Each structure stands twice: as structure tokens, then as C-alpha cells.
């Protein structure tokens, strides 16, 4: 796999010069300064590409070219927004940047309740506490009938463990984590500048009143069919990011959560440019997914790999596991065998050795990711040098 790294542009405190020193080959980035829905001009794309190439690297993947909410819920202006999307794809195609990651998650991109969950060794990780999430949904967002979406055990834990320790500061922190810090830098719906993020979030949720999974799926197919001719013309590979976590949340439909979902969108638009971002971490956050088997099944339709993996606890909480988790070793071996040229980036590594003081975007530490990249590079080298490969499926 090509070793890539998510870099947030010229203002990222982690510089391209630093990345060259640690063995990064390709850059994953976006034109973060352009608001969602606006066209990425050829000039802007080329400027970013030059910036990267002048420093001895290449722009391998766009993460993300965001899909506007209106395209997802099928708003009146969706065709106009799809036209802008196609225009941005043309700019990327002309500049030769040909792998584009996006997602089709309504409103909320990825969800965590804690950004610095302490590990025994002094590092910290991202964590999803189901009972805290239920508290956010039921007591902060006050979503109608929200209780119905949680099992009895989670509701009990919310009442007995979470509610007694929640105060104004705890609630503020939860809101900040769930809808500001994890979202601000990835999807643009809510930013640090919003004074009342909860109210804004409620309004965003309302856009999806009456939109079920089938409608969302039809809207995704509509979008993909509209953009495929541009992808064919320029050889652009689209790769949808799985839903994180891979299940319906906050009453919103989610449609890239499991084997059947992946099969459905690949079959609905059977064009090789319609593919998957194999985010092992997102898929493994649902106990229903056998992520190792999914890698074997979909390696050929994968255009981009996110290397990380989660452990789901018996109560439904999940946390990031080590990049040396045996499942991840198996997945890396699969891709090295089945799709060796695919770009791969490590993801959601721990905060360690001073990372926590640097104000990095949540999940995007330097030392933690550097260590993770070292681990994954080691797995790759072992697979290739010792000729270890997954033979169980061949």
C-alpha cells in the first residue's frame, strides 16, 4: 500500500518536511478553506498540488470533497450542488488528483464522547461511551422519543453512572466533543464559532424529518449516477467512507454500515470508479461486522484504506485498539496481496509524549500516528519480505 498521511493544509503544525522524514509517500488533504458546496477551481487545486509537490511529496487522496446535506436529503437545490461537485471533480481530474473520499452520513460525520480517554500506559485515546451518548441525545438534545432508541442496559447506565456526575461543565464538554470538536474540521456544519451549537444541530436534524434509509440510499445512487460520467472521463475513483459508528444514531438513517449495505451501493452503481474507503476502524465499531472477512471480500473495490481498529465492549462502548491488533495485521496482509497499490493512512492514533498539548484535530496526533505508521509499515514489510499473505481465501 502507498503510505499516506492526512494533512490539514499549510496551517497544519505538522509540516510536509516532517512527514518526509517519517516515511510518508503521499498526502491526503482537502481544500479546507473552501466552504461546502462551492466549486474547487482548477487554480486552487493546482496551487495545493504545487505546494505539496514542491516539498517532495504527492497529493494522493482528497479527503474529503464534502457532499452537501441537500444532496443527501434531496433538497430543491441538489442538482445545482451536484453540478458544483462535478465541476470540482473536473478540476481534480485535470490536475491529476484521482482518488476522492466522501461520506453519505447525515448531519454528523463521526461520533465520539471522549477525546482523551486515559490508557494505563499514560497515553490517551478516543472513546465512545454509549450511555453518555444517550445522555446527550435524551437530556441535552431532548430529541423526541429518543429513549426508544436505546436498550434497557444503556438507559440504566445513563441513569446510574452518567446522570449523577453530569453538571453544566460536563454537559458543555459533551456537546463540545460530539458536535463541535469532532465535526468542526471535517464537515463544516458546525464550527467553534457557533454560539449555540445545540440549537443549530437541532435544526440540521430537522432537515431529515421523514427521510428513511431507503430514501437516503436512493439519494446516494442519484448522486453517484450523476457524477460517474465525470469520473469515467478523468479516471477518478470515488470511495465512500463507512458510517462511524456503523449504525443509526440520533434518529438519522445510516446506509454504509455492514456487508449488505456495501454490497447494495456497489451493485446499484456497478462502475469500478464507485468504490469504498475501507475504514477498518469504523466497520469494527459495530459488533455485527467481521472486519477481516469484509477486507477479503471488498479489497478489489477499495480505493483507500484507513488503518485502525476498534474493540467493542460488552456494553456497546468502543475504543480504538492497537495498530498491532491481529485483525489489523490480517487486513494489512490482505491489502498487500489483493490491492498493493492502494493508498493507506493510519488513523485515530493515541495522544502521547506531549501530543495532548499541541491542539491537534481530534484523532490526528503526531507522535501517536507516527508510531502507528511505523507499526503498519513493519507489518507491510514483514508481509512482503517473508512473503506472508492471506492464503485462506485463495
User: CB 329 → ligand DNO: shortest distance, Å?
Assistant: 21
Total number of residues that touch ligand DNO (CB under 6 A): 10
Closer of 230 and 279 to ligand DNO (Cβ)? 279
DSSP string, 52-86: HHTTT-EEEEEE--PPPHHHHHT-TTHHHHHHHHH
Cβ(240)–Cβ(265) below 8 Å? yes
Binding of ligand DNO by 64 (CB under 6 A) = yes
Q: Is 320 among the residues that bind ligand DNO (CB under 6 A)?
A: no
Phi, psi of 302, rounded to the nearest 5 degrees = -95, 130
Q: How far is the CB of 65 from ligand DNO (least distance, A)?
A: 8
At which residue does the C-alpha cell 430529541 appear?
Answer: 143
C-alpha–C-alpha distance, residues 130 and 66, integer Å:
27
Give the nearest distance from C-beta 71 to ligand DNO in angstroms.
13
Piece in contact with ligand DNO (CB under 6 A), picked from 80-88, 95-103, 212-220, 329-337: 95-103
Taking the C-alpha atoms of residue 364 and residue 374, their distance in angstroms, rounded to an integer, is 15
Interface stretch with ligand DNO, choices 43-51, 80-88, 103-111, 149-157 (CB under 6 A):
103-111
Q: How many C-alpha atoms does 56 have within 13 Å on its Cβ side?
A: 9
Q: Which residues pair with 278 in a beta bridge?
A: 305
With cell 509517500, the residue in question is: 25
Examine residue 12 and tell whether it contacts ligand DNO (CB under 6 A). no
Lookup result for grid cell 510536509: 16
Considering only residues 192 through 251, tell me which ones interact with ligand DNO, judged by CB under 6 A: 241
Binding to ligand DNO by residue 345, rule CB under 6 A? no
- Residue closest to 99 by CA, chosen among 346, 304, 336: 304
Is there binding between residue 63 and ligand DNO (CB under 6 A)? yes
Shortest separation between residue 331's beta carbon and ligand DNO, angstroms: 16
186 lies in the binding site for ligand DNO (CB under 6 A):
yes
Which of these ranges, 10-18, 100-108, 115-123, 219-227, lies near ligand DNO under the rule CB under 6 A? 100-108
CA distance 275 to 100: 10
Kindly list the catalytic residues. 241, 279, 306, 347-348, 364
First to last CA, the chain: 20
In order, the DSSP letters of 244-279 are BSSS-BTTB----SSHHHHHHHHHHS--TTEEEEEE
Question: What is the smallest separation between the CB atom of 62 and ligand DNO, expressed in angstroms?
Answer: 10
| Using rule CB under 6 A, residue 102 touches ligand DNO | yes
> At its nearest, how many Å lie between ligand DNO and the CB of residue 81?
16
In angstroms, give the least distance from the CB of 184 to ligand DNO.
Answer: 11
Q: Does 109 help bind ligand DNO (rule: CB under 6 A)? A: yes
Q: Is 91 or 103 the residue whose CB approaches ligand DNO more closely?
A: 103
Question: Are 101 and 304 in contact, with CB atoms under 8 Å apart?
Answer: yes
Q: How many Cα atoms are found within 13 Å in the side-chain-facing hemisphere of 6? A: 24
C-beta closer to ligand DNO: residue 157 or 306: 306
Residue 2 or 109 with smaller CB distance to ligand DNO:
109
Nearer to ligand DNO, 184 or 197 (CB): 184
Look at the block and give the residue holding cell 458546525: 190
Q: Does 112 bind ligand DNO (CB under 6 A)?
A: no
Of the residues 93, 253, 363, 368, which one makes contact with ligand DNO according to CB under 6 A: 363
Strand 318-320 and strand 124-128: pairing?
Answer: antiparallel
Site for ligand DNO in 115-174 (CB under 6 A): none
Residue 392 cell numbers, joined: 485462506
In contact, 126 and 320? CB cutoff 8 Å:
yes
What pairs with residue 351 in β-bridges? 124
Q: Write each residue from 14 to 43 as x if it is in contact with ligand DNO (CB under 6 A), else as -, in one continuous string.
A: ------------------------------
Report in angstroms how near the CB of residue 168 gets to ligand DNO at its nearest. 28
Q: Measured from the CB atom, is 102 or 150 closer to ligand DNO?
A: 102
Binding residue (CB under 6 A) for ligand DNO from 1, 27, 92, 101: 101
How distant, in Å, are the alpha carbons of 254, 262, 264 from that of 270? Answer: 21, 12, 10
* Binding site residues, ligand DNO, CB under 6 A: 63-64, 101-103, 109-110, 186, 241, 363
Amino acid at each position: 500500500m502507498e503510505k499516506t498521511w492526512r494533512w490539514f493544509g499549510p496551517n497544519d503544525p505538522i509540516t510536509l518536511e516532517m512527514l518526509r522524514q517519517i516515511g510518508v509517500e503521499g498526502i491526503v488533504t482537502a481544500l479546507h478553506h473552501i466552504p461546502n458546496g462551492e466549486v474547487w477551481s482548477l487554480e486552487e487545486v493546482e496551487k495545493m498540488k504545487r505546494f505539496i509537490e514542491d516539498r517532495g511529496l504527492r497529493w494522493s487522496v482528497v479527503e474529503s470533497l464534502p457532499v452537501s446535506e441537500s444532496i443527501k436529503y434531496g433538497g430543491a437545490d441538489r442538482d445545482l450542488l451536484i453540478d458544483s461537485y462535478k465541476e470540482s471533480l473536473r478540476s481534480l481530474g485535470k490536475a491529476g488528483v484521482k482518488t476522492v473520499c466522501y461520506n453519505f452520513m447525515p448531519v454528523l460525520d463521526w461520533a465520539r464522547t471522549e477525546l482523551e480517554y486515559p490508557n494505563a500506559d499514560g497515553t490517551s485515546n478516543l472513546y465512545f461511551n454509549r450511555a453518555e451518548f444517550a445522555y446527550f441525545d435524551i437530556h441535552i438534545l431532548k430529541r423526541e422519543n429518543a429513549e426508544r432508541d436505546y436498550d434497557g442496559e444503556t438507559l440504566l447506565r445513563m441513569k446510574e453512572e452518567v446522570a449523577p456526575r453530569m453538571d453544566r461543565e460536563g454537559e458543555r464538554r459533551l456537546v463540545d466533543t460530539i458536535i463541535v470538536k469532532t465535526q468542526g474540521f471535517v464537515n463544516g456544519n458546525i464550527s467553534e464559532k457557533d454560539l449555540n451549537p445545540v440549537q443549530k444541530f437541532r435544526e440540521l436534524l430537522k432537515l431529515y424529518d421523514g427521510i428513511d434509509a431507503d430514501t437516503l440510499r436512493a439519494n446516494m445512487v442519484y448522486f453517484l449516477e450523476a457524477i460517474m460520467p465525470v469520473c469515467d472521463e478523468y479516471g477518478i475513483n470515488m470511495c465512500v467512507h463507512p458510517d462511524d459508528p456503523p449504525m443509526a444514531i440520533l434518529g438519522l438513517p445510516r446506509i454504509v454500515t455492514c456487508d449488505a449495505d456495501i454490497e447494495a451501493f456497489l451493485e446499484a452503481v456497478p462502475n469500478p470508479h464507485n468504490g469504498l474507503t475501507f475504514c477498518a476502524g469504523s466497520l469494527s465499531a459495530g459488533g455485527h461486522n467481521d472486519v477481516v472477512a469484509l477486507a477479503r471480500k471488498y479489497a478489489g473495490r477499495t480505493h483507500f484504506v484507513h488503518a485502525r481498529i476498534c474493540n467493542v465492549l460488552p456494553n456497546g462502548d468502543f475504543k480504538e485498539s492497537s495498530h498491532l491488533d491481529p485483525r489489523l495485521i490480517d487486513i494489512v496482509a490482505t491489502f498487500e496481496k489483493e490491492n498493493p497499490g492502494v493508498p493507506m493512512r493510519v488513523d485515530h492514533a493515541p495522544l502521547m509524549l506531549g501530543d495532548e498539548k499541541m491542539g491537534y484535530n481530534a484523532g490526528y496526533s503526531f507522535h501517536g500516528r507516527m508510531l502507528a505508521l511505523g507499526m503498519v509499515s513493519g507489518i507491510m514489510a514483514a508481509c512482503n519480505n517473508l512473503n506472508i499473505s492471506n492464503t485462506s481465501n485463495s
